[in-house]
Structure 1
Amino acid sequence: MPGLTTRDSFILKSLFDPEASATPTKHVSSQTSLPGMPEDQFSSRRSSELQIISRLQTNTSDVKTIQTAIRDLSSLIDESPAYASAYINRAQASRLLIPTRGLFTSDHAQASGQLLKDLQKGIQLAAPTTPDQQLSSHQTTVLAAAYTHRGFLLLKIADIIRSGEEVHGVSDALQSASAESVEEQASKDFAAGGQYGSKEAREMAVRTNPYAKMCGAIVKEALKKENEEWKASQLC
């Protein structure tokens, strides 16, 4: 079973432990379901989903258990294509089967690409349609997890590009993008994840913000120059 890096550690917690997210900065309504989905239908889908992912909460190292969960989540998606969190949890379960070093390589191109597709679909289904739309607590949990997961995947893609290797399983736009532009996209995803309640995403948004990094580099260079001038002044 492939080990998870520190970049992946939050993803499990946020997806399989809904209480891991902090209070979202977006407006949250008293609703618990998804927009356009009757409450009874949502409750039924959510109950089925929780039964599936409960097996993963207690056993994330057994390949057969993970494969069964992926199959069951796919069935849930077939039954209810508008149920957003099933896509997000399928992406996370699938991620458990891909070694970190294998992400977006030729050996795992299709599986890696499907991660991005599932996350994008989940975001599309759960995202507000207007800037001032109130969201259910379930929507904010789904969006926080999806944006944070995708942010980490984009950082992985940026690392591959920076190393000079080819990225597999992504769109032509990502393949031809610079490492800096992909990292900027990741920073935007982390910022969105933070808005929807993820403390870890907020921290990563600061660390990957290109303007913050630029300011940090300027300060570092200024301190270096000041230190060199101080040393020079001590010479006889």
Structure 2
Amino acid sequence: MSSIVSVSTAQPLLSSNDSAVLQALFDAESSPASAVTIDHALPPLPCIPADGNLEALKAREVYAIRQLQHDSSREAIEGVIAELDAVITENPSYPSAHVNRAQALRMLAEGGGHNDGNDGESSLFLPENSDIATRLFADLDQAITLTRPSSPTSPISPLQARILADAHTHRGYLLLKAAKIEPEKRKQGGLVWLQRLESDQLEQMASVDFFSGGRYGNKAAQQLAVQTNPYAKMCGAIVREAMRKEVEGG
């Protein structure tokens, strides 16, 4: 995409920049990632100055998130979020910390190590988690904004590609999850922008994010972009109906 907008204001219709999805309608292996030029000679992150001590930032970030490998309790998750808060406060243009804080926020909304029997993945959209959900989407939006290339054809670094792939795929997954929630339940949630959108609109937005995630190298996103693309689904329905009629006619 040439311009990433906040999910709260994104339009449900596919943009012209996403028309390349049509080339991959029936071939998930056509690899939209091939359109991205990865240049290993580029600075890892253009949003971090050469003297921005990137390695020190990475070390602080890794130290924080590794704690969750041993303890996924609510208290541990809140501690990790607090550490990432400090990193982002001191270095707001460091996109990877935004991506990892979004993941930690999702874990927090889903109940940490226990979800009391609820569907943890859907709990993010409950009214009581509206603040967490707002922060989560804002983090993913910010990571994309900080990392996106100056134009769709501009070369990017391997780290840029990874962050963009992770952020777009995560956001696409959440939009697709929201699309599957019953409309009435979704409208009772705490995110105002989510209440205004229909399921098919959310699924189209998820498809756009999956396309971008796949374009930057996420293999799962490449598959999901094809599965959720409205044109592919429409054509698939036509084929299934034709096959049904042929079987019944025979």
CA displacement, residues 146-177 of structure 1 (integer Å, 9 cap, x when unaligned): 000000110122112546641534343x4222
Alpha-carbon distance between aligned partners in 2 of 1:71 and 1:60, rounded to the nearest angstrom: 15
1:127 Cα offset (Å):
0.7
Compared with structure 1, are the counterparts of its residues 171 and 165 closer, same or farther at alpha carbon in structure 2 (3 Å cutoff)?
closer
1:64 Cα offset (Å):
2.1
Amino acid at match of 1:222: A
1:212 Cα offset (Å):
0.8
Provide the residue aligned with 1:170 in structure 2: 191
Provide the residue aligned with 1:188 in structure 2: 208
Provide the residue aligned with 1:112 in structure 2: 133
Tell me if 1:137 matches 2:147: no
Alpha-carbon distance between aligned partners in 2 of 1:164 and 1:212, rounded to the nearest angstrom: 28
> Highest relative contact order (Cα 8 Å, sep 6+), 1 or 2?
2
Amino acid at match of 2:37: H
Normalization by structure 1: what TM-score? 0.81
Provide the residue aligned with 1:93 in structure 2: 104
Alpha-carbon distance between aligned partners in 1 of 2:236 and 2:184, rounded to the nearest angstrom: 23
Compared with structure 1, are the counterparts of its residues 60 and 229 closer, same or farther at alpha carbon in structure 2 (3 Å cutoff)?
farther
Amino acid at match of 2:196: S
Provide the residue aligned with 1:198 in structure 2: 218
Provide the residue aligned with 1:208 in structure 2: 228
Provide the residue aligned with 1:53 in structure 2: 65
Of the structure 1 ranges 26-35 and 123-132, higher mean CA displacement relative to structure 2 is found in 26-35
1:126–1:139: 8 Å Cα contact kept in structure 2? yes
Indicate the structure (1 or 2) with the bigger Cα radius of gyration. 1
Choose which of 33, 37, 46 in structure 2 pairs with 1:27: 37
**Matched residue SS, 2:211:** helix
The 5 A counterparts of 1:55-94 are: 55-56=67-68, 58-59=69-70, 61-94=72-105
Compared with structure 1, are the counterparts of its residues 82 and 191 closer, same or farther at alpha carbon in structure 2 (3 Å cutoff)?
same
1:91 Cα offset (Å):
0.3
1:160–1:166: 8 Å Cα contact kept in structure 2? no
Q: Which runs of 5+ in 2 are unaligned?
A: 1-30, 110-119
Provide the residue aligned with 1:127 in structure 2: 148
1:187 Cα offset (Å):
0.4
Provide the residue aligned with 2:55 in structure 1: 43
Amino acid at match of 2:197: A
1:186 Cα offset (Å):
0.2
**Matched residue SS, 2:39:** coil
CA displacement, residues 170-199 of structure 1 (integer Å, 9 cap, x when unaligned): 343x42222111101100100000011100
CA displacement, residues 115-162 of structure 1 (integer Å, 9 cap, x when unaligned): 111100111111112222221111111110000000011012211254
How many residues align? The count is: 207
Amino acid at match of 2:147: A
The percentage of aligned residue pairs carrying the same residue is: 39
Of the structure 1 ranges 30-39 and 197-206, higher mean CA displacement relative to structure 2 is found in 30-39
2:128–2:190: 8 Å Cα contact kept in structure 1? no
1:62 Cα offset (Å):
2.4
Of the structure 1 ranges 114-123 and 58-67, higher mean CA displacement relative to structure 2 is found in 58-67
